[in-house]
Each structure stands twice: as C-alpha cells, then as structure tokens.
Amino acid sequence: MGFGPPMGVLYLISALRNRYPNKYQFELIEQALYELSAEQVLERFRRFDPELVCFSAMSMEAGEMEEIARLVKKEKPDCITVLGGPHASIFYDWALRDSNIDYVVIGEGEETFPELLEALEQNKPLAEVKGIGFIREGQLVLTEQRPYIEDLDSIPFPAWDMIDFDRYHGFLSMTGWVPPHRWAFLFTTRACPFKCAYCHNIFGKKVRKRSVENVIAEIELLVNQHNVKQLQIIDDIFNLDLERAKRICDEIINRGIKIKIAFPNGLRTDMMDRELIQKLKKAGCFSIAYAIESGSPRIQKLIHKNLDLEKARQVVEWTYQEGIITHAFTMIGFPGETREEMNQTLEYVLSNKFIRCWFFMVVVYPRTELLEIAKRSYPDFDFSGYDWFNFRYWSDVPFYTRATGVDLIKIQANFYRRFFFRAKILFKVPFRYPKDLFTLKGIWWQIGAILEHLGALENWFKPFRKFIAKKLKLAPE
C-alpha cells in the first residue's frame, strides 16, 4: 500500500556513479507513479535507446515486468535485460523462465551489478561474478553467493537527484496518508535477526548498521539540498539497537534539524523503551506502526513472531501518551487459524491505544516456512494448482478462503467496522494527526478507504473509492 521512491534502483545508480564517474547515462522510469502504460514505457525506451534495461520488481508485480521486458526485446533484441529486487532474489529460477530476462541479480546489488556490467563489457567469465543467475544451453546457472555488504557506510547515498520529490507528495505513502510536503524514505540498517515463518530472507539475518554520523549526513542532505520535510524510516527493526536509535534522535535534536519522522514499516513493539519513545517525539516523530501480527499466543508461537503481547501493550500506551499516532499491523487467515484466534487479534487491538489498524489477509508464498505450515494444516489442498503471484493482501479470493471455504473478506470487513466505527476513534483522529496532513486529498482518500473497508462485502462501495482516487489523482490505477 502506498508509493515511494525506488530505493534499490537509486542505490544502484549511485553505486555506478561512484565506481565509474561520468561513464553511464541513466533514464529512470517510475511506471506506477506516473501511471504509464506498457506502451508509454516502450516509447520512453525508444527515445532513450539504451543498451541495457534494469528492472526491479516485487513478486506481485512480476506480470507487468514481464510484459515490458517482452516489448523491450521485441523492439531491440540485443538489448540486455537485468532483473533485481525481491522477486529476483527469491524466485530467480522462476524469473529466468521468461526468455526476455537475461540476468538476475540476487540479493544486494551495489557490488554485484557494477561487476556484472564490467564482465559484460570486457567479456570476462560471468561465472566469476558472485550473486547472479542466468540461463545457458537451457540450464539454470547460479554463481557463488555474494556475501552481504558489511560496511553500509561504504555505500553512497541514493541518487536522490533522479526523482521529482514534488510528484511523490501528491500520492498516498506508506503511512496511509498523502503527505502535503516533500518526503523521503530512509534506510539506516539492513536485515532482521528474527525468523518469522511468513518472511523471505532478502538481506540476511545479521543486522548491519550505518553509523550515526552517516545517517545524519544523509538526513541533512535531504533537508538542506532537497527541502525534505518528512522522513519515513523503513528499516526492518530500527529499534533493535536502542542506544544507537537514541543517539540518532539526539543528533537530530542537538543539530536543530526540523523534520517530521514516521515509521510505516512496523517496529518491534516489545523491544522499545520509554526513553526512546520520548526522544523520538522530541526529534519529530509523529507516527509509529507496530507489527503485532496476532493477538493469539498460539499463533505467535506458530509463526515464530513470539511477541511479548503484554509488554507491547505497555509500549503502545507510552507511545500514545507522547502524542505519537499509533498504528497496528495485524494479519488474519494464518494456516490453521481459528475464528476464535482471529477474534483474539481484534480484541487485542480494540483494547489497546491504537488510532489505526490494518487487518492484512495472510498471503502464503513459496520458499517460506509458512508454506510448509500450510501444507501440514491442509493436506488435501491442491498446492500444485495455486497461482502464487496473483495473490496479494487484497486478493478477491484469499488463500485461507480457498483452503477452508471460510469467507475471510467478510471477517476482515467486520473487523474494520468494529475498529474504526468507535466514537473514540472517530473523534480522536482529527486531534491526533498533524494539522498539515488534513489536505483535501488526504481527507478524501481516508473517507474512500474506510468506505471500501466497510463495504468489502458490498462491491458498490468500491466504485466510489475508485471515483475519488481518479478525480483527485490519489493513486495510479
């Protein structure tokens, strides 16, 4: 949900600029943001006429990516195509079934991609480039795995000059609101040490951290050179190292950096302390999403989240007391989950000081432990016929419904009704949110989103939401 700068691609551009100054020309095409059709992307391709096209895609975007790759190869067969990002890193073999993709970059690309270009240009053996995959004589070739980058300070800042910040602040962001000013994503760490059953392992399990000085330098660049007013920090777990997180806050405060801060990616609730929450508030934090996932102790153990729900309750209370907007991320429809356990999740968020809550429908992806749990839970389900990459959090027929026959969408709609249509939510939201978020676009999007959640059963609400989005250009189709 929401749009943001393509961080992976921006990091790759900066890595190439740093390694080969003035050698390459770049054309960045942000298809979703600019609402470009495949034909419009092809027209941009014709004008720029590149020798190589690089794609970054999540698995749910794979179909669109493949269509553009097909058009590129049809237009210019000798153009080299390279795929990176989450889909390439996890489903590299599936991605390479498409003959229009020449190479995949697996994992972090800042070192791999420049080496791949060098090997192609100088006709060096591709087998010596760590972290790539390709097809040769009909066989999948995977080179040696590349170690994760230990020194994150060695990676240049993203190529922020390549994007139009003003374009982004007119669209819905990961916070669930339409920012009225310039904003940017910020990564301060990579990886997550936990082993939740639903997660893929993109950045590894050893957390690597940028130095406080390096993080502050990028913040100052964004604020001073690009007039950014809001940061959305999207680390997997920003608060894993409490003392480091506090030092980042202290530097922002001591240097007088005027910035709003949001955490839309979900912090680890039971690893917070009150001092960090207070420092975050002083540094400009206005919104924190906490990844609760489930209010059921059994489900917490099943998925290896193992969240201390009682400590999380206290942390949410502290966050609320500081005037920070509290969001909850939850998931319903885990394999084997009962209706009673789903209700435990609802009751948990209702009894906490959350201002907003998302009830995501569980998506079971291959190459996660969750798939193995699903197979044990539903031994008679035909997994061989499951169309993996067409299923999303908002799927018309979620996995749980296919496996059990239970209408998960109906349950989700009821949960949204019960959460949002409470007096203490309806009357507190206007007073909790920063006043500059209450723009025409932001308010209309919120109304449309709530109506869509409440009308999940009655499709006549959805055209109204789409009408609002189209008229106000809140989000690309």
464 pLDDT more than 80: no
Residue 358 has a pLDDT of: 93
pLDDT in tens, 88-97: 999 999 999 9
Residue 442 has a pLDDT of: 65
Over residues 235-264, the mean pLDDT reads 97
263 pLDDT more than 80: yes
Helix axes 440-454 and 461-472, enclosed angle (nearest 10): 160
Question: Comparing C-alpha atoms, which of 304, 323, 281 is closest to residue 373?
Answer: 304
What pLDDT band is residue 425 in, cutting at 50, 70 and 90? confident
Over residues 170-178, the mean pLDDT reads 81
Cα distance between the two ends of the chain? 13
Write down the mean pLDDT value for the chain. Answer: 90
Q: Using CA atoms, how far apart are residues 286 and 434, in angstroms rounded to an integer? A: 8
Joined together, the tokens standing for residue 54 give 């690089």
Q: Which domains does the chain have, with CATH numbers?
A: 7-142 (3.40.50.280), 164-438 (3.80.30.20)
Over residues 72-89, the mean pLDDT reads 96
456 pLDDT more than 60: no
Question: Comparing C-alpha atoms, which of 209, 339, 113 is closest to residue 347?
Answer: 339
pLDDT in tens, 317-360: 999 999 999 999 999 999 999 999 999 999 999 999 999 999 99
**For residue 314, which amino acid is it?**
Q
The answer, as to whether pTM is greater than 0.85, is yes
With contact defined as beta carbons under 8 Å apart, do 248 and 273 qualify? no
